[in-house]
Chains A and B, each alone.
Chain A
């Protein structure tokens, strides 16, 4: 379609679009409309670039760009492959939608410091794309850290006591994990292997033969728990703490940028640093599968106990993230596909749920599920979208989540892990148990007895918030009906 040099440039443009938007947004704080224009311009440029790259990658190409050579033998470089593209497509598309919603939310609530918020938002998305397109571990680490810092002001946005402790926890876990575990693991790996470049396939990995087993095992767990954004227990504790942030941030944290970056980094390292063969040989895949199974079940059980809607969604996120890692850890082709496609399915479903939570808060000022009785009758659109997205979480057809479950179950059977099949089924039931009551209560429940202002006077949230959540809900359904659109990339990951 274009010349090859265009594709060399495209990932750089996609990356720089949001980075360039940061100063522009910061400088046009006095003129909100101009400021919002920069966000959309950058988001559009980024999405178009990623889309163009998608076509190119589908044709079987891989783009490699070296940006800066940082150390002898180590550079900041980008690589666009099917695996990274899956995530980049999701992140760049959701930025446009989330930005629309954010503007509605921020203006609807007349929030303070909107400029700072939008600037950090743009920076976070730039970092997310950087992670998606990283060609080596160092580049990935650089963008991973950038994301942690860029989201700090977002988590701390309310600037009150609660968000302060949330933000503290957020940084303690993320920096503790990355500086305390990932950084030394990365340096040890570099010392042993002489390179940090990802392998070009998922089976061989990049760890040279002859490194002692104990070292490999220690490195593996340092990476697994070091990328604390992936929310594996016990490194998940920051996630519920960070949910006190405004809803667009939660949506960004829980669906698009932060946790997905964590999971992406984890799976990238599992597949492209260690490789399926090595993980299989050392049984690391299986051990990981059991570790994340625990997380899946425990987080779901905790979610059941939460009355605060966003808290329930947060624990649901912890549980769902581990699905992705579980799929990869099972190491069978179907399971890997199921895990990776869940990056997409979960992103659209979870962002819908958080958008709904935000819309409910803006329209009705309600945070707790117990107060939402009958609310679905006055906010039908919001709650219908919520119901659709819950179906995806549960894994019911025809919504995207079904595809995930199908492949995961298939993969678990392929790997002959009946215990994992049981875990998946149990978690499905738990998902039903904590999502169904919300929808049921909203549509069929009675307004709370104290009655002050319930139902009466509550209307749907403004259209600028409603449209994004309807769009993401529809995309969730489409992902279930036409899974091949994204699956074709995922299939290319497999050898």
Chain B
């Protein structure tokens, strides 16, 4: 049974998606229960697979139907994909629990079909992470992309329009990727990542222009998918119009998995030597990443809509990740992988908080933050944790990823990136303290009139507590704990997982 864990991680949500399409008549509770059960089982399998990896400290290879690699599809779970799988399954499970009220509010009819798409998306994400085959990865990429179009289009207002833009851009990205894979297949005759890596390391292919074009196409496709500046325009719109649950599911995970694919392509299929010595785009990419970090945060600062603001923060965070990966230092790589985990958790945390606030107040702008500490104390504390992590305050995990990234940048002498990281941290501080100010002081014009001569005690009378329902609070609190826990156990995470996946050549 444990041997089958790698495939079960993916198969369970896939089967659940199929079953969910059939359970419409059983009612919403069944659909909700089935989804949670499937994701919990998938998380269990991911943990089991990770344990197996840790057991021998080597990758677990699983051949589908026992076909040997060039013919069959192979799943490879190593230290890197193992933790990312746990992250995806964990975040998806928390979002599923969270979805009880908002999902049924957003989808009064056909909730089971919504959940089926949900499970299908998770299948795609998990599959992309686990697979050891570049074409299989493309298939799963499309599975997750198609289901995400469906989910996003069910959002409010002009969501379908934003989704349509996303669909066009996303398809272009996927096409680039597929084209690149085609080039590599022509040159090597294989689609298996390990074999590709071996063949590509031959001297004659290292010089090949076709391989270079293949790499360029793949990486461009992935950059579009992960919304790296300046290919990011689709993201904030698509995410801010989405339904509450959809945003919580897609925002933290989709881009992170794309970053994971970038790391895989760079360091597993190609090699550090090829990337940094032959391709040698580091300088350019670091400039892009630095711009992403600063411009993302600046644009976020200019937003009134809370989720759009978070969307631009993701754009900035993607800049951190891309920069870290291209620094070509061990600390930079560690920072990128660690930040992948950290950012997944903290974005989930903030999207859940904003979702809960929207659910309770119906407002999507900063004004919703008013009296948040009185009205929704637990949510407010979770918000503080998430915000502190984005700003990079210790002991949240955001601090440690920034620590590694800056260390890596210092070692690489990439002072532009150091400056960008610091500036974007300060901008993040501005963003969140502005929200905190609204929570504390409310709007000016209101406060001034409300407190005539009362020593300036602008805080009005008691505000009724209207906390989010338990099914939303529990996953939020768990995520906040995870944000803190990941920070406090940075040492363990780095030594047991990340250090093993540092590619040779640093």
Chain A residues packing against B (C-beta within 8 Å): 68-72, 75-76, 109, 111-113, 116, 138, 141-142, 145-146, 149, 152-153, 156, 158-164, 167-168, 171, 175-176, 179-180, 183-184, 187-188, 190-191
Contacts and interface: CB of A to CB of B under 8 A. Distances in A.
Given A70-B488, A175-B429, A180-B422, A113 B403 contact: no
16 contacts: A71-B403, A72-B495, A109-B455, A149-B393, A152-B433, A158-B458, A161-B447, A161-B456, A176-B426, A179-B422, A179-B425, A179-B429, A183-B402, A184-B406, A187-B403, A188-B410
A191 B410 contact: yes
Given A68-B491, A176-B426, A187-B410, 14 more contacts: A109-B455, A141-B394, A153-B440, A158-B457, A159-B441, A159-B457, A164-B437, A167-B437, A175-B391, A175-B426, A179-B425, A184-B418, A184-B422, A190-B407
Contacts of B410: 184, 187-188, 191
A401 B94 CA distance: 59
Contacts of B320: none
A183 B406 contact: yes
Contacts of B437: 156, 164, 167-168
Given A72-B495, A158-B456, A191 B488 contact: no
Interface in B433-460: 433, 436-437, 440-441, 444, 447-448, 451, 455-459
B126 interface: no
B429 A161 contact: no
Nearest to B411: A191
Given A71-B403, A72-B494, A187-B410, A113 B422 contact: no
Contact of B491 (A71, A156, A188): A71
A252 B392 CA distance: 26
B457 A145 contact: no
Interface in B476-506: 487-488, 490-491, 494-495
Interface in B387-435: 388, 391-395, 400, 402-404, 406-407, 410-411, 418, 422, 425-426, 429, 433
A161 B440 contact: no
B494 A71 contact: yes
A70 B457 contact: no
Contacts of A159: 440-441, 447, 456-459
In this complex, the member of A69, A75, A116, A160 whose beta carbon has the largest number of chain B beta carbons within 10 angstroms is: A160
B490 A71 contact: yes
A152 B393 CA distance: 14
B interface: dominant SS:
helix
B317 to A, nearest CB: 16
Contacts of A163: 456
Contacts of B395: 70, 76, 142
B210 to A, nearest CB: 40
B81 to A, nearest CB: 22
Contact of A71 (B373, B400, B425, B451): B400
Nearest to B338: A71
Contact of A70 (B392, B400, B458): B400
A141 B392 CA distance: 12
Contacts of A187: 403, 406-407, 410
B488 A161 contact: no
A167 B487 CA distance: 28
Contact of B440 (A68, A138, A142, A156): A156
A164 B488 contact: no
A70 B455 CA distance: 45
A72 B407 contact: no
B418 A70 contact: no
A211 to B, nearest CB: 13
A357 B418 CA distance: 45
Contact of A191 (B407, B426, B429, B458): B407
Interface string B192-224: 000000000000000000000000000000000
Interface residues on B, range: 35 or more
Contact of A158 (B391, B406, B455, B495): B455
Given A160-B447, A160-B458, A164-B437, A145 B495 contact: no
A70 B440 contact: no
A160 B411 contact: no
Nearest to B488: A68
Contact of A145 (B373, B394, B418): B394
A171 B429 contact: yes
B393 A145 contact: yes
Nearest to A186: B403
A160 B444 CA distance: 8
A126 B406 CA distance: 29
A142 to B, nearest CB: 4
Contact of A112 (B392, B429, B459, B487): B459
Nearest to A158: B456
A171 B437 CA distance: 11
Contacts of B458: 158-160
A137 to B, nearest CB: 12
Nearest to A75: B491
Contact of B490 (A70, A112, A167, A184): A70
A199 B433 CA distance: 36
Contacts of B490: 70-71
A327 B426 CA distance: 33
A187 B491 CA distance: 16
B457 A69 contact: no
Given A71-B400, A158-B455, A179 B392 contact: yes
B456 A183 contact: no
B119 to A, nearest CB: 37
Contacts of B447: 159-161
Contacts of A160: 441, 447, 451, 456-458
A179 B494 contact: no
A454 B456 CA distance: 23
B426 A180 contact: yes
Contacts of B392: 179, 183
A130 B414 CA distance: 33
Nearest to B418: A184
B459 A183 contact: no
A162 B451 CA distance: 14
Contacts of A75: 491
Contact of A113 (B459, B491, B495): B459
Contact of B422 (A142, A183, A190): A183
A65 to B, nearest CB: 16
A183 B394 CA distance: 11
A178 to B, nearest CB: 9
Nearest to B433: A171
A180 B421 CA distance: 10
Contact of A142 (B394, B406, B448, B491): B394
A161 B444 CA distance: 7
Contacts of B436: 152
B497 to A, nearest CB: 13
B400 A112 contact: no
Nearest to A162: B456
B388 A72 contact: no
A161 B458 CA distance: 9
In this complex, the member of B411, B425, B459 whose beta carbon has the largest number of chain A beta carbons within 10 angstroms is: B459
